[in-house]
Amino acid sequence: MENFVPKAKEKKMLYQTKYASLLGTLSIVSDDCDIVGLWIEGQRYFQEGLREEPLRRDDAPPLLQAKRWLDAYFAGERPKPETLPLAPAGSDFRKAVWRRLMEIPFGGTAAYGEIAQRLAQDLGREKMSARAVGGAVGHNPISIIIPCHRVIGADGGLTGYAGGLDAKRRLLQFEGVKGF
């Protein structure tokens, strides 16, 4: 189940564009081929892991693809993350968690512990730490598209979100999740 584009070893230029959303300004970063980041301006871990400062370039093809995806998402459509060239930087464990996040459907939620159980099964382990999963979820570099906002606590309540709990609540309400 490989959803992410493998990163080539050569250094590629990074490009950035801005996107106005119901959460405020989003910052989208790509190289020439792949989307490498999407953050809410000012969120925790903003642009963490970028190897250089991105150049402003609104017409880079991956950035245009991301904007079209976000247009569809915020219009209430249900675009699939798998349709985009995503290349988040992270460890194999984090990437495995992020792939699991992409399986949570629009309007759905999953608890950290549920994700940990599924990953443990994938890896042939008896169990896995929900806290470790939480760390990977919190460092997701492609917010909204890789839907970390759909992860909730074991009690069904809101828990941490790098973009803030208000943003998480607004996204869940936008998707029609009851109780938020």
Choose the weakest-confidence range: 3-7, 68-72, 134-138.
3-7
Q: Is 33 a catalytic residue?
A: no
- Catalytic-role residue among 119, 148, 152, 171: 148
CA 104 centroid distance within chain = 12
CB 65 within 8 A of CB 84: yes
Alpha carbon distance 144, 137 (integer Å): 12
Q: Which residue type sits at 146?
A: I
Question: What is the pLDDT, as a whole number, of residue 1?
Answer: 43
Alpha carbon distance 147, 126 (integer Å): 26
Query: CA dist 66 to 17, 59, 113, 138, Å?
Result: 10, 11, 30, 21
8-34 pLDDT per residue, tens: 556 689 999 999 999 999 999 999 999
Topology at the third CATH level for domain 92-174 = Arc Repressor Mutant, subunit A (1.10.10)
Helix locations, the chain, DSSP H: 61-74, 92-101, 112-122, 130-138, 165-174
Question: What is the pLDDT, as a whole number, of residue 115?
Answer: 97
Alpha carbon distance 111, 109 (integer Å): 7
Q: Could you say which architecture CATH assigns to the domain 15-83?
A: 2-Layer Sandwich (3.30)
Supply angle C-alpha 125, 45, 13, rounded to 5. Answer: 100
Name the one residue in this structure whose structure tokens are 């070893």.
Answer: 9
DSSP one-letter code for 156: S
Question: What is the pLDDT, as a whole number, of residue 50?
Answer: 85
Alpha carbon distance 95, 91 (integer Å): 6
Alpha carbon distance 174, 35 (integer Å): 24
For the chain, the structural domain boundaries read: 15-83, 92-174
103-158 pLDDT per residue, tens: 999 999 999 999 999 999 988 999 999 999 999 999 999 999 999 999 999 999 99
pTM of the model: 0.91
